[in-house]
A and B are shown apart, each in its own frame.
Chain A
Amino acid sequence: MRTSRFFLVSALAPALAAAALALAAAPALAHFGMIIPSQDTVADKAKAKVELAVSFSHPMEGNGMDMAKPKAFGVVDNGQKTDLLPALKPAKVMDHAAWTAEYTFKKPGVGTFFLVPEPYFEPAEDKFIEHLTKVTVPAFGEEEGWDAPVGLAAEIVPLTRPFGNYVGNVFTGKLLVDGKPAANVPVEVEFYNKDKAYEAPNEYMTAQVVKTDANGVFSYAVPFAGWWGFAALVDAPETIQKDGAAKKVERGAVLWAKFVEPKRKKK
């Protein structure tokens, strides 16, 4: 009898732990609109096709959420906008509904991919979340134009070139809301923990947090290699009606950038 109870408890323990973790992770932190390209830079004409994985996820914890078809998805290169919404195909990211698109660079350029999702209702927070997301991929040596805003309702305009960065670099960006610098806004920073290679030592470590200064500028020094997301979170001026009530809309300006280890000479 004693042993069987012991077995029962030991069987339940992981489930309980998982539940506890889920609760700990439940706070608002760590929703991220994501656009992750298959390569951070394009150098080779034979490998000029970039696959973009578009999702709404918890990048550090590696948990996905189902994502409806976005309202807008495209790429801007040198002021020229290309609609990629028709190119989006359903896909799975972190075991949840997500989207994927292919884009081939034919000439030197700097492509900033942008995403405007359908607002996602988060019952735990009783509000909608809308993350306007960007990622910039340069091709064939061109690098001019990475600092141009796309013109989203909320947008991080990089002050650090958002590609070709080493690990340890300080990333600096400026938050524009409706085209104007936004002060005192929290920016969540999260690592795309692909393959769950890392583990946050405690719940505070899942997302890192910095704030924009009086000029809407924030900085973050990147500690290890991979894709890092920066999400500046503001409340949208509008609300969305749901179940007879006006729900708040969290508007996130998200930017993704990859930070890379230097290659070491083989000896």
Chain B
Amino acid sequence: MKNLILNRMKPVAASLAFLAVLAAPALAHRVNVFAYVEGNDVVVECSYSRSERVRFGEVEVLDAATGAALLAGKTDEKGEFRFPVPPAVRAAKADLRIVLKAGEGHQNATEVKAAEYLSTAPDAAAATTAAPIASAPPSPPVAPVAAAGPVAAASAPVQTVSQTGGQGGAAPALDAAALERIVEAAVEKKIAPLRAILVAEKEKGPGLTEIVGGLGWLVGLAGIAAYFAAKGKKPRS
């Protein structure tokens, strides 16, 4: 009985949901997301129009190549969300994909290419701001966790972190997760050019083999057609 009701409810619920979408005031509203680099920060502007901003919209920042989530946050009253480029991202020279979820199925995305933030802030700036970034809640890519015990294999990365962190004093210990992130970033940096080559290959369009293969198909099909045409013409005894 319960099931029956539920089943009957389903289309109603579906159509209600559909109506809700239709009835949303932002009927034909596109939601815009535009991001630009200002110093070491990426500024994301979210709006329905100049006078109607997306207030408290959810913004997700992903690695454009891997789709890995990097950080997330919400727009302020002016539809703005600002975040510093995480050092790991800067090191990997990753392109950023910024997705805005404004609610009611309003979603849009934009990209910030690595070249954009690399050109506006020197690496040195990243190094000096690395520590505050690491402590900021939305972007913890290389947050060193002091509580974790020293890991034997971690000694080398620990050194690099203390260097880039520039805090001096005792080298902070790393937990496994932080180490993993650092290694990932380093590997990503190394393979990024390879990935670019692969993508370029993919986008090149049909290669010689495909073209020759395609011609083969055409000739074959023409042959079959000719065969049937000839067969049809044969006088039958």
What is the interface of chain A, defined by CB distance below 8 A to chain B? 45-46, 78, 106-109, 140-145
Contacts and interface: CB of A to CB of B under 8 A. Distances in A.
A107 B36 contact: yes
Contacts of A46: 113
Contacts of A109: 50
Contacts of A143: 49
Contacts of A142: 32, 47, 49-50
Interface string B23-36: 00000001011101
A144 B32 contact: no
A108 B53 CA distance: 13
Nearest to B52: A144
B32 A108 contact: yes
A223 to B, nearest CB: 25
A76 to B, nearest CB: 14
Nearest to A110: B50
8 contacts: A45-B116, A108-B45, A141-B33, A142-B49, A142-B50, A144-B49, A144-B51, A145-B50
A192 B34 CA distance: 32
The listed residue with most B CB atoms (<10 A of its CB), out of A45, A141, A145, is: A141
A144 B34 contact: no
A108 B34 contact: yes
Contacts of A45: 36, 116
Interface residues of B, number: 13
Interface in B20-79: 30, 32-34, 36, 45, 47, 49-51
Q: List the 9 closest pairs (A to B, CB-CB), nearest first.
A: A141-B32, A144-B50, A144-B49, A140-B34, A108-B34, A142-B50, A141-B30, A108-B32, A144-B51
Contacts of B34: 107-108, 140-141
Nearest to B32: A141
B50 A78 contact: yes
B116 to A, nearest CB: 8
Nearest to B51: A144
A10 B53 CA distance: 69
A143 B47 CA distance: 11
Contacts of A144: 49-51
A155 to B, nearest CB: 21
A140 B30 CA distance: 11
Contacts of B49: 142-144
The listed residue with most A CB atoms (<10 A of its CB), out of B33, B49, B113, is: B49
Nearest to B108: A141
Nearest to B112: A45
Nearest to B33: A141
Contacts of A145: 50
Interface string B194-227: 0000000000000000000000000000000000
A45 B112 CA distance: 9
Nearest to B116: A45
Contacts of B36: 45, 106-107
A232 to B, nearest CB: 28
B98 to A, nearest CB: 12
Contact of A140 (B32, B51, B113, B116): B32
Contacts of B113: 46
